[in-house]
C-alpha cells in the first residue's frame, strides 16, 4: 500500500492499525537541537484524546507515547525520530459482527474491493486513531516552527450549523476554545452546540462541523509556486484526514460572489521598500495569507469542513460481502462530532506542511 509518508525535507511516515499493537510515526529530516520531550508530547496528544466532552466517544485511549529514537536530553538529535503509542483500549469484540458487513460512510467496502482483505476492527488504518501518530509528528514540527517565530492555532468554528463568532467579532475568545470540551471560542455558542449534540446523541445521530486554523509569523516566501503551492500542500494535508470534505482559504467559496475590487487584498503603503523590510500590510485578507502559492505575510487562514461521524447508533440499511441487504446496528464507542478532537490534528498537519516548506525553501536566493 502506497501513501503512508508525507513531506519531502521533513518527511513523516505513520504506521499502525487502530486495533493492532500500536500506532506510531517516524520523522525523517527534523533538524537537531529542537526542544522535545515526553511531557510536551503527552500534552499535545492529550488534546486529541477522546473522552473529554459531550461530542466525544467514551473510549478511554491512554495515548501514552514512547519516544524510541532521535531525542537526547530533551532535544532532537537530527536523526530519525520514532514514536509509538500503544493501543490499550481496544474492544475488538465490538467489531466481530462487522467482519463481513460494510458500514455506510466508512471505507470498508472500497478496502475490500481494492485489497481483497482488511482489518475490520475499528476501521484499521482508516481509523481516526491513526491521527494520534500525526499529532506526535506534528508536535516536533510545531516545536521547530516555534523556534522560527511561527505559531499555529485551530478551533471549532461550527458544529451542526451552530456557528461561533469570527475572530475579532464580539464574543470571540480564543482562550475559551481550550477551556470548553467542544473547543468553540465562545462559551454561549459552546453551550448551544452541546445541547444540539445531546439531542443528536439521543436520536442515535451524529453531526458535522467546521474547524478553523490560523498560523502567524510565516512572513513572505513559504511555498513553491507551481505544484507545491502552500495552499495546495495544506489542502492535501488536511484533506488526508478522515471525514474532511472541504477546505477553503480566506474568503474561500465566498470569493466566487465578490467582484475584483472587493476580492483584491491591497498592499498598504508604508514608505519602506518591501524588498528591504520583507514585510507588507494589506487592506484585507481574502486570500487567507497565500498569493500564487506563496505566503504573503498576512495571517494564514483556512477552514476545513468535516462530515458527520459515519458510525451512528441509529439502524441503517447496508450490504454485506455477499451483496445481501443488512439492517445494521453499529456497536462500539464513537464520537458524535469529530471536530473538537480534530483541532490538534489539523494543527499538526499544518505544522508538517510549514516545517517541510521551511526546510525545502532554504537556499532559494543567494
Ligand X SMILES: Cc1cc2nc3c(=O)[nH]c(=O)nc-3n(C[C@H](O)[C@H](O)[C@H](O)COP(=O)(O)O)c2cc1C
Q: Which is nearer to ligand X, 103 or 192 (CB)?
A: 103
Check binding of 335 to ligand X (CB under 6 A). yes
Check binding of 265 to ligand X (CB under 6 A). no
CB 86 → ligand X: shortest distance, Å? 18
Q: Which residues in the 221-260 window bind ligand X by CB under 6 A? A: 241-243
Distances (CA, A) of 321 to 104, 123, 318, 354: 13, 16, 10, 42
CB 221 → ligand X: shortest distance, Å? 30
Q: Which is nearer to ligand X, 211 or 233 (CB)?
A: 211
Check binding of 124 to ligand X (CB under 6 A). no
E strand map for the chain: 5-6, 11-15, 22-28, 65-69, 71-72, 75-76, 81-86, 151-159, 162-163, 209-216, 244-249, 267-268, 281-282, 290-291, 294-295, 300-306, 316-319, 325-328
Check binding of 350 to ligand X (CB under 6 A). no
| Residue in the block written with cell 467489531 | 95
Between 74 and 113, how does the x/- string for binding to ligand X read (CB under 6 A)? Answer: --------------------------------xx------
Cell of 189: 455558542
Among 184, 305, 342, 351, binds ligand X (CB under 6 A): 342
Check binding of 118 to ligand X (CB under 6 A). no
Check binding of 131 to ligand X (CB under 6 A). yes
CB 338 → ligand X: shortest distance, Å? 4
Check binding of 18 to ligand X (CB under 6 A). no
- CB neighbour class for 249 (10 Å; exposed up to 12, middle 13-18, buried from 19): buried
Check binding of 123 to ligand X (CB under 6 A). yes
Q: Which value, to the nearest 10 degrees, does the dihedral of the CA atoms of residues 225, 231, 236, 239 take?
A: -170
127 secondary structure, DSSP code: S
Among 237, 334, 352, 356, binds ligand X (CB under 6 A): 334
Check binding of 287 to ligand X (CB under 6 A). no
Q: Which of 51, 48, 15 is nearest to 211 (CA)?
A: 48
Residues contacting residue 177 through CB under 8 Å, at least 6 positions apart: 153, 155, 156, 183, 184, 185, 343
Among 41, 184, 345, 354, binds ligand X (CB under 6 A): 345
CB 329 → ligand X: shortest distance, Å? 14
Q: Distance (Å, rounded) from C-alpha 246 to C-alpha 252?
A: 11
Among 57, 87, 90, 158, binds ligand X (CB under 6 A): 57
Q: Tell me how many residues contact ligand X (CB under 6 A).
A: 21
Residues that bind ligand X (CB under 6 A): 57, 106-107, 123, 126-128, 131, 241-243, 307, 309-311, 334-335, 338, 341-342, 345
Amino acid at each position: 500500500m502506497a501513501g503512508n509518508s508525507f513531506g519531502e525535507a521533513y518527511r513523516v511516515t505513520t504506521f499502525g492499525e487502530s486495533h493492532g499493537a500500536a500506532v506510531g510515526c517516524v520523522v525523517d529530516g527534523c533538524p537537531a537541537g529542537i526542544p522535545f520531550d515526553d511531557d510536551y508530547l503527552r500534552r499535545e496528544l492529550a488534546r486529541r484524546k477522546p473522552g473529554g466532552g459531550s461530542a466525544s466517544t467514551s473510549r478511554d485511549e491512554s495515548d501514552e507515547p514512547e519516544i524510541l529514537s532521535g531525542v537526547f536530553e530533551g532535544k532532537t538529535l537530527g536523526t530519525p525520530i520514532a514514536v509509538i503509542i500503544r493501543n490499550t483500549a481496544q474492544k475488538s469484540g465490538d467489531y466481530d459482527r462487522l467482519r463481513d458487513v460494510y458500514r455506510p460512510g466508512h471505507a470498508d467496502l472500497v478496502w475490500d474491493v481494492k485489497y481483497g482483505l482488511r482489518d475490520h476492527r475499528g476501521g484499521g488504518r482508516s481509523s481516526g486513531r491513526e491521527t494520534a501518530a500525526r499529532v506526535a509528528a506534528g508536535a516536533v514540527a510545531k516545536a521547530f516552527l516555534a523556534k522560527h517565530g511561527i505559531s499555529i492555532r485551530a478551533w471549532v468554528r461550527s458544529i451542526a450549523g451552530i456557528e461561533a463568532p469570527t475572530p475579532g467579532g464580539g464574543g470571540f475568545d480564543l482562550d475559551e476554545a481550550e477551556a470548553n470540551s467542544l473547543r468553540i471560542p465562545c462559551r454561549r455558542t459552546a453551550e448551544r452546540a452541546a445541547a444540539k449534540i445531546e439531542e443528536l446523541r439521543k436520536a442515535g445521530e451524529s453531526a458535522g462541523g467546521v474547524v478553523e486554523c490560523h498560523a502567524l509569523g510565516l512572513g513572505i516566501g513559504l511555498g513553491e509556486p507551481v505544484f507545491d503551492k502552500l495552499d495546495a500542500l495544506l489542502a492535501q494535508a488536511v484533506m488526508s484526514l478522515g471525514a474532511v470534505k472541504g477546505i477553503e482559504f480566506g474568503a474561500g467559496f465566498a470569493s466566487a460572489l465578490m467582484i475584483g475590487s472587493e476580492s483584491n487584498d491591497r498592499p498598504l503603503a508604508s514608505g519602506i521598500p518591501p524588498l528591504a523590510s520583507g514585510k507588507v500590510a494589506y487592506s484585507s485578507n481574502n486570500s487567507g495569507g497565500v498569493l500564487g502559492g506563496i505566503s504573503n505575510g498576512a495571517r494564514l487562514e483556512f477552514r476545513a469542513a468535516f462530515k458527520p461521524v459515519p458510525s451512528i447508533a441509529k439502524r441503517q440499511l447496508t450490504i454485506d460481502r455477499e451483496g445481501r441487504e443488512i439492517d445494521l446496528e453499529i456497536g462500539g464507542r464513537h464520537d458524535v462530532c469529530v471536530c473538537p478532537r480534530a483541532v490538534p490534528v489539523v494543527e499538526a498537519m499544518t505544522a508538517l506542511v510549514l516545517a517541510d516548506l521551511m526546510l525545502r525553501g532554504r537556499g532559494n536566493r543567494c
